[in-house]
Structure 1
Amino acid sequence: MGWDSKEDQPLTWQYTADSVLKYDVRILHMIGVWPLSGSQLYRCVVTVIIALCLGHFVEAVINLYTLHGDLEDFTLALSNVSVVIVGILKVTFFLRHERGYCHLVRWLDTIVASQREYTRGRPHLEEAFAGAQTLAVRITRGFCMYNATVVLAWVLAPLAAPPEAKRLPFQQLPFGEGSPFSLYALSYAMQGVSMLLIALISVQMDCFFTAAMIHAASQLRILNSRLSDLQLGKAGLQLQGGTTLDSMYDELRLCIHTHQEITRFVEHLENVMNPIAMMQLAVGVFNGCMLIFPATYSAENDALVKCLAAAPTISAQLLLYCLGAHSVREQGEAVPLSAYSCGWADASAAFRRSLLVVMARAQKPLALTAGRIYPIQRATFLSLLNAGYSYYAVLRNFNSR
């Protein structure tokens, strides 16, 4: 199914008021990525952001070229510029497939709305939905505040150095004593603003996908409860005067339709997410290695503090993808057991045949991948940490020679 196949019209601020992804979409809007109003001003803002990041990249090239034999500063500069590069790629990918993202939001809202009628009057199902909503909002808000604090602290740290040192936040340029202060101030502002914007954009896009995965897992959890509640004579299935064999079969058909919709939604989520997830997992492993090295060998206290402050953000971004994707897969794998737990023994032959079809189709895991080649699950996080440490060990051995 193509990304732009249906309901891919641009979103508006009014529409997001009732969306389950309201906070994620609106934060991306406020930092200049998601043009909810349809104004061309947002295109200009994105152009300015990319221009600032390109300037940051040029200064990184100059910094790397002028470094001689200082591997600690070299790895730290590479770590910083990799965040900028991946951030630009994420923005570019979003702009290219913006309609697919709009489709994702509308589709998830449709699935949630279709199941809300089954959650009314069932406290455990209402709690599952409310819990998913609360968790997604807390992740979005928490990461936004934490990431902004870390970047601002990193940006302001050079101000504690002596003025004649002319230290910059991320990429150090060969400023001499006769260099104009205006050039230093311009470079300082460009690096700080570009890194702050691109870091917020990058993290919030990760939070957007994480929220989508949390809600997808929640909808699967609600579906599992609906399937296991299919019991002859159960009050929850008393439709139009009482529960009968036919009403059980009708309810099963509705569950099958919901399962098919969620399955197709997860496939669409995989399509729009896997390239960005691949970039984030790759840069996470790379930055993990690049930050550990200067934190271990650098004699400067500010470098150590910077690395220790940035490390939790990098590892947490990887963990978000792994836990979110694992939750979707886990709830998808629970569908056959939930179907088997219903009252199929007292149901009609047509009901039992349909139930077998559901159980057979649900055997295929709802797997999310990075770049369609690397499965994302809970164990992936540990393997990524091991890979980052392995690269660090290689770099350490190279440096000790």
Structure 2
Amino acid sequence: MPQATRGAYLSQELTQVKSGLQQRELPISDETATFTWSETAGSLLKVNIRILFFNGAWPLTESALYYVYTAAVFLASLANMAEAAVGIAFGQGGMEEITLVLPNTLTTACGVVKLAFFLRDHRRYYALVRRTERLVMSQEELAGGAAEASARDVSRRVRAFALFVVALICVQGAVWCPMPLIAYPGERKLPFGQLPSTNYTQAEALSMAAYSCQWVESSQCFKRSLAIVILRAQQQLVITAGHLYPVNRTTFVSLVNASYSYYALLGQINKR
């Protein structure tokens, strides 16, 4: 095809695309309006939008009750992060326990930040989805049946991927929540972070034994001494590194093992 003919052909195609977009152009007020449930029925991003709706991030109604639900999700996420921070700062968990808490806390923190950004610019997201829908519809009209079949295939893949991610999260939650009951039977472990008041330790057993003695008829001096013993027994005497990891025999052995592994790896590299 000659260069001039090719340029004229591309110019004609571009004009048709612009014309199709202009015919479906909606006012700015309609672009940024809240979606409804029926509007998402034929959308390319139907599954994604409805998943966000059930998680409190994408309102499909102007009801004030839904915004209360969104606030509850936001506050619950912040409470989960605060619980993890308290458990790490004041709990007596080991390196393994704290390492398991941090990924969940960071994931929750990322979700909170994304939710905050979306709520701040939600009108722009509405407009972006509407413009994407108009562009897809215009391309289908210009290209005919082949483009429509391709669009259906892409829509199927998008929905399948969204459902796969949701199913993966649900499976992880179903496995993670009862795991403390299976791995630590009888220790009253929580699914995510461990609070200091929920950990049943031998220090707590000592407090209960001291409280169970015949202290009612004892002298005031004995009662004061017993109170000091009970309060002190509830706090384990440990040295921590940055208020995160307890410096004890288990931590020391794990550090020695890690140091030896790095030393052996460096020795293997230097010999090559």
TM-score under structure 2 length normalisation: 0.59
1:21 and 2:35 equivalent? no
Contact 1:29 1:36 in 2 (8 A): yes
1:105 Cα offset (Å): 0.9
What is the CA deviation profile of residues 31-72 of structure 1, one whole-angstrom value per residue up to 9, with x for unaligned ones? 222111111112111111122122212211122113568333
Q: Which residue of 1 aligns with 2:152?
A: 130
Aligned match for 2:134, one of 110, 113, 124? 110
Q: Which residue of 1 aligns with 2:62?
A: 38
Q: Which residue of 2 aligns with 1:160?
A: 182
Deviating beyond 6 angstroms after TM superposition, the runs of 4 or more aligned structure 1 residues are: 398-401
What is the CA deviation profile of residues 323-369 of structure 1, one whole-angstrom value per residue up to 9, with x for unaligned ones? xxxxxxxxxxxxxxxxxxxxxxxxxxxxxxxxxxxxxxxxxxxxxxx
Structure 2 portions without partners, runs of 5+ = 1-26, 205-249, 251-257, 264-272
Residue type at the aligned position of 1:133: S
1:150 and 2:172 equivalent? yes
Distance 1:76 1:398 in 2: 24
Distance 1:399 1:86 in 2: 33
C-alpha distance 68-31 of structure 1, shift in aligned 2 (>3 A): closer
1:103 Cα offset (Å): 0.6
1:161 Cα offset (Å): 4.4
1:99 Cα offset (Å): 0.4
Distance 2:41 2:79 in 1: 36
Aligned match for 1:71, one of 82, 90, 95? 95
2:130 alignment partner, SS class: helix
C-alpha distance 172-116 of structure 1, shift in aligned 2 (>3 A): same
Structure 1 portions without partners, runs of 5+ = 180-297, 299-395
1:96 and 2:120 equivalent? yes
1:132 Cα offset (Å): 1.0
Aligned match for 1:85, one of 98, 104, 109? 109
Residue type at the aligned position of 1:22: K
Distance 1:39 1:397 in 2: 58
TM-score under structure 1 length normalisation: 0.41
Q: Which residue of 2 aligns with 1:257?
A: none
Residue type at the aligned position of 2:49: V
1:76 Cα offset (Å): 2.1
Contact 1:67 1:74 in 2 (8 A): no
Q: Which residue of 1 aligns with 2:32?
A: 8
1:135 alignment partner, SS class: helix
Kindly, what percent of the aligned residue pairs are identical? Answer: 30
Which structure carries more helix by proportion?
1
What is the CA deviation profile of residues 262-298 of structure 1, one whole-angstrom value per residue up to 9, with x for unaligned ones? xxxxxxxxxxxxxxxxxxxxxxxxxxxxxxxxxxxx9
Distance 1:79 1:136 in 2: 27
Aligned pairs for 1:319-330 (under 5 A) are none
Q: Which residue of 1 aligns with 2:195?
A: 173
C-alpha distance 399-127 of structure 1, shift in aligned 2 (>3 A): same
1:56 and 2:70 equivalent? no
Contact 1:19 1:109 in 2 (8 A): yes
Aligned pairs for 1:1-400 (under 5 A) are 7-67=31-91, 70-121=94-145, 123=146, 125-161=147-183, 163-174=185-196, 175-177=198-200
- Pairs aligned (count): 181
Contact 1:20 1:133 in 2 (8 A): yes
Contact 2:91 2:195 in 1 (8 A): no
C-alpha distance 75-163 of structure 1, shift in aligned 2 (>3 A): closer
1:73 Cα offset (Å): 2.5
1:170 Cα offset (Å): 1.2
Distance 1:162 1:169 in 2: 11
Distance 2:153 2:112 in 1: 33
C-alpha distance 48-61 of structure 1, shift in aligned 2 (>3 A): same
Structure showing greater Rg: 2
Contact 2:77 2:108 in 1 (8 A): yes
